Structure 1
Amino acid sequence: MPLGGTPATSESAGDGATEVLPSPGPSPPPPRLPIWPLALMFGLVPIWWLAGAFYLGWPLLGAVLLALLLVRGRVPLPPGAGIWLLFLAVVLVSATQLGSPNSVLTFGLRLGFYATALVVGVYVYVVTRERAGNGGVLLPLCAYWLGLVALGWLSVLAPRLGMTTPVEALLPGAIADEPFVHDMVHLSTAEYSARSLNPIYRPAAPYAYTNNYGSVYAMLLPCVVAVIMLRRRGVLRWLLLGSLPLSLAPAFLTLNRAMFLSLGVGLLVLGVRAGRRGNTRVAISIVGVVLVALLATVFIPVTQLIEDRVGSSGTNTDRLALYRAVLGRVGESPWLGYGAPVNVDTVSAQAPIGTQGQLWMVLFSHGIPALLCFLAWFVVAALCCARAASPAGQWLAIVPVVCLVQIPFYGMANQNLAIAFYVIAFAMARTERELARGHVSRLPAALRGAVE
């Protein structure tokens, strides 16, 4: 019996002799996943927006990631992936509740966004685990952030800009005229009331709705701060530092109250964690972000603008009417919902029942079990990320908290869900590595080298 090296096996040579053959060695590791598909998907947002493909093309870009994952094989799943797969299964079954053929297209697109988010999360999780210096995995999101800031300023400077996009021109008229689809493929920079004599312009590009802009801003801000912490020098660090104050004008002018609320709760959680752990670097970074935001309020009277908007519109009344309508009808179909939001004339709001918040959309469209799965995944993500020890990891760990605060107020059946999965999957993989290193550092010196 060999004492070392490759184990051997015996095989008859055909003449009575026995030929000793080396046994197969360990299978080679699967090829590393490239980062360029993430850069294609997240780094070219202004181009996808100008083409009108930002929404309809998003699941197709997700399909590219899925194909690469399938070709690679042996894909580890991030924590909580089974919960999201169960959510997708319930959503798929809820299609049996759709009331009209026209709703099939919008249902399919929403399902595509839900599935794409998981694919992005799995892809980022694998890519991060494969790379020791994994800060580069966040570069596509940095490009997304810079595109968001640039298009936000375009919305501020040219709020009435709008045009027909190539994708809109190529779609059949019956599909392009569907309100939900039209909002996604028609280029516009800001939301405003065209009938108002003194309209309030709220930046939205590259999104169809300004709430989506505010939602993703609150998700990406912690990510940008984390990248600045990870990169001590370089052009990107200074570019991101310069973009932070520049981003405040379009973000504040969205007048998104839930954006401020979710960021405030996230920073509060971050501050409490930093205080418990005595992490002065995190505490200083929080103070810096807050001071820059307060300085911006000197030039942008955001509180007064929000009060003026609420006073001149029925946004609160409309939202409450829609929420009550959902609660009133969910008892009739609690397990699978109604498949999709529906238009009714029993409320004053112009939006369909089951909109104005992801919580209400999932509850109304797909039922109580789907909502429990949706919320459970973000709770699991928040608990997993909360174990992060590094300053950058602690900033990333508040993203699922920000999402949980936003869920009752903002819809997430769009690109923002994929961005949340992107950041959270990166944070999960990085936290796992931090914990493993901490465990190794506590081992005796004789064993530490063998483990590392």
Structure 2
Amino acid sequence: MSDTAVRGRRLRWPVRAVAAVRARAVAPVEPGVRDRGAWVVRTARLPVWPLTAMFGFMPLWWALGAFQLAWPCFGVLLFVLLTTRGRVRLPAGTAPALVFLGMVAVSAVRLNRATALATFGLRLGLLATAFLVGLYVYNLARDRVPWARIAAPVCAYWVAMVALGWLGVLAPRFSMASPVELALPNGLAAQRFPQDLTHLDATEFNRYSANPIYRPAAPYPYTNNWGTGLAFLVPFVLAYLTAVRRGPLRVFLLVSLPLSLVPAFLTLNRGMFIGLGAGVLYLLGREIARGRVRLLLPVAVIVAIGWLVTLIIPVVDLIRNRTSTTDTNLDRFDLYAQTWAAVTQSPLLGYGQPASVDTTHAAEPLGTQGMIWQLLYSHGIPATACFYLLLFVVARRLAAAVTATGLWLSSLPVIAAVVTPFYSYLDPNLSVLFAGIGLGLAAVDGAVNRDPGAPR
């Protein structure tokens, strides 16, 4: 009896010490935690390496020409890991996301030819993968995997995107066939959409113009995708910098942020500036309404750096020159009007996918030039409304964030909603968006491990 009592007294202090360390290492990032099981440790942890393979190795997938084609395969991997682990936590927005995916899948009945099933399946796979990335990241963070480990692959993706943007600045005419493009069957390789996805181009420009404007695009096929990716990644990178105070990746991010402004301005993406501006105004409005001004300094620094870059790059003149020579605004408005007229003919399910100028079925690329137009034309009005409902539900939940990290992530659904009339992001950028949303939702829903060096 005495020996047992002594052993009992010896066990009390280590237990208390471990509890104290764990309390410091696993601290709620945001107040108002609602989940009573927030402190429950899962026995089967999800690995981080799938995110590293997806985002961290992006330059390799781009060089192979498999960047977008292989992306849904990673979604299958995440789905297998989630279902194998079991007991998956579902964040806010899961219900509208599942309904939206169901509506998109049903719209396949509107495809007018069997050969369109391949591109439809690719787009559906990109959508499903994005939601799976958000779900996977959410559960990783709720399992108290260190925040820095979860966010590092997406930050590496950002560094690689900036580097490839500079490839477009320094070697604007870089173009070559990728291994995947060379391996495609002749009939498939001759089509414009597969060729755009697999061919390696540093920039997008008019090859028939006497004075072409080279706009950085790599690793994406179109420069608008590069601008959308930057709009989603800048808040993510700023959230990482506010949450992680040490490490070599932090140094890379601090250097890459100002460097990204040169290729960003050369894209001439007006929608990118509008989206980032809307996100900043949203955050500043929330902070001012609560009587806080802590975001004013970093925002002022970013704006000042951007203004200095405009002294070197005549961005306004370049945009004015482009719009005056191509009638891009009139072309867009005309395309929007034609797209809406077509939507009224099939409002419930749309047409399955955007129309392409490379077929005999459409004289104009209807359902392009914006996420909202692609969703309306391809999948109908109900699916589009469900997508916006998803962004609203997520934005409302993220509005509970009060830390600087949570605030930057809370701007993502707002930016995503604002850029929908201008650019489509049904590509890996959608996965980037939901990776940030997943981290933000985890922070406001439960305890997460914000200290990568603490014992677990």
Same-fold status (TM-score > 0.5): yes
Q: Structure 1 residues 342 and 311, CA, compared in 2 at 3 Å: closer, same or farther?
A: same
**Alpha-carbon distance change, 397 to 234 in structure 1, aligned in 2, over 3 angstroms:** same
Taking the aligned partners of 1:359 and 1:148, their CA distance within structure 2 comes to 25
User: Which residue number corresponds to residue 371 of structure 1?
Assistant: 384
Task: Indicate if the aligned counterparts of 2:236 and 2:408 stay in contact, CA closer than 8 A.
Answer: yes
Structure 2 match to 1:355: 368
Aligned position for 1:23 = none
Structure scoring higher RCO (CA < 8 A, sep ≥ 6) equals 2
CA distance in 1, matches of 2:371, 2:228: 12
> Which of 63, 83, 101 is 1:70 aligned to?
83
Matched with 1:33 is 46
8 Å Cα contact 1:191/1:204 also seen in 2 = yes
Distance apart, 1:273 and its partner CA: 1.5
**1:283 maps to amino acid:** L
Q: Quick check: which has more Rg, 1 or 2?
A: 1
Q: Which moved more, 1:222-231 or 1:185-194?
A: 222-231
Equivalent residue runs for 1:389-408 within 5 Å: 389-408=402-421
In the TM superposition, what is the alpha-carbon distance from 1:133 to its structure 2 partner? Answer: 3.9
Q: What is the rounded CA distance, in whole Å, between the counterparts of 1:195 and 1:85 in structure 2?
A: 44
Structure 2 counterparts to residues 69-218 of structure 1, below 5 A: 69-131=82-144, 133-218=146-231
Preserved CA contact (<8 Å) 1:382 1:400: yes
Matched letter for residue 146 of structure 1: V
Instruction: Work out which of the residue numbers 38, 45, 54 in structure 1 matches 2:58.
Output: 45
Alignment partners' CA distance in 2, 1:296 and 1:275: 28
Letter of the structure 2 residue corresponding to residue 131 of structure 1: R
Q: Contact between 2:41 and 2:143, CA under 8 Å: does it hold in 1?
A: no
Aligned to 2:335: 322
Cα distance in 2, alignment partners of residues 167 and 66 from structure 1: 25
Q: Deviations over 1:328-362 (max 9, x none)?
A: 121211111111112469xxx98511111110111
The Cα shift of 1:102 comes to 2.6
Structure 2: distance between partners of 1:351 and 1:142 = 37
Q: How far, CA to CA, are the matches of 1:230 and 1:76 in structure 2?
A: 23
Check the 8 A contact 2:144/2:447 in 1, yes or no: no
Residue number in structure 2 paired with 1:260 = 273
The structural deviation recorded for 1:147 is: 0.2
1:336 equivalent in structure 2: 349
Give me the CA root mean square deviation.
1.9
Q: Which amino acid is 1:415 matched to?
A: P
Q: Structure 2 regions of 5+ residues with no counterpart? A: 1-39, 451-456
Secondary structure at 1:332 match in 2: coil
Q: Which amino acid aligns with 2:166?
A: W
TM-score norm. by structure 2 comes to 0.86
Cα deviations by residue, 1:105-159 (Å, 9 ceiling, x for unpaired): 1111111111111111110110011116423311111100000110000011111
Determine which of 71, 81, 84 is the counterpart of 1:58.
71
3-state secondary structure, aligned to 1:417: helix
Decide whether aligned partners of structure 1 residues 237 and 28 sit closer, same or farther in structure 2, where only a CA change above 3 A counts.
Answer: closer
Question: TM-score, structure 1 length as denominator?
Answer: 0.87
Equivalent residue in structure 2 for 1:424, among 437, 443, 447: 437
Q: Does structure 2 retain, via aligned residues, the 8 Å contact 1:125–1:425?
A: yes
Q: 1:223-302 residue pairs with structure 2 within 5 A?
A: 223-302=236-315
| Inter-partner Cα distance in structure 1 for 2:65 and 2:281 | 38
> For 1:29 and 1:271, how far apart are their aligned partners in 2?
38
Match of 1:5 in 2: none
The corresponding residue for 2:13 is: none
Letter in 1 for 2:444: T
Deviation for aligned residue 1:236: 2.0
Q: Provide the C-alpha distance between the structure 1 equivalents of 2:178 and 2:363, rounded to a whole number of angstroms.
A: 26
Deviations 1:298-332 (A, max 9, x none): 11111111111111112112211111111112121
Given that 1:30 and 1:73 are in contact with CA atoms closer than 8 Å, whether structure 2 keeps it comes out as no
Q: For 2:209 and 2:98, locate their aligned partners in 1 and report how far apart those are by CA, in whole Å.
A: 45
Residue-by-residue CA offset, 1:60-103 (whole Å, 9 max, x unaligned): 11211111111101111111111011111111111111012232
Identity among equivalent pairs (%): 48
**Which deviates the most, 364-373 or 318-327?**
318-327
Deviations 1:252-303 (A, max 9, x none): 1000000000101111111112222343432211111111111111111111
Query: Residues 404-415 of structure 1 correspond to what in structure 2 (within 5 A)?
Result: 404-415=417-428
Would the alpha carbon gap of residues 249 and 28 (structure 1) be closer, same or farther in structure 2, given more than 3 Å must change? closer
Aligned partners of 2:428 and 2:118: how far apart in 1? 17
Q: Which residue of 2 aligns with 1:7?
A: none
Other structure's SS at 1:281 match: coil
> Which secondary structure state, in structure 1, belongs to the residue aligned with residue 340 of structure 2?
helix
Mark the runs of 5 or more structure 1 residues left unpaired by the alignment. 1-26, 438-452
The number of residue pairs the alignment matches comes to 407
Q: Which residue of 2 aligns with 1:383?
A: 396
* In structure 2, C-alpha distance between the alignment counterparts of 1:350 and 1:300, rounded to whole Å: 37
Alpha-carbon contact 1:275-1:283 (below 8 Å) kept: no
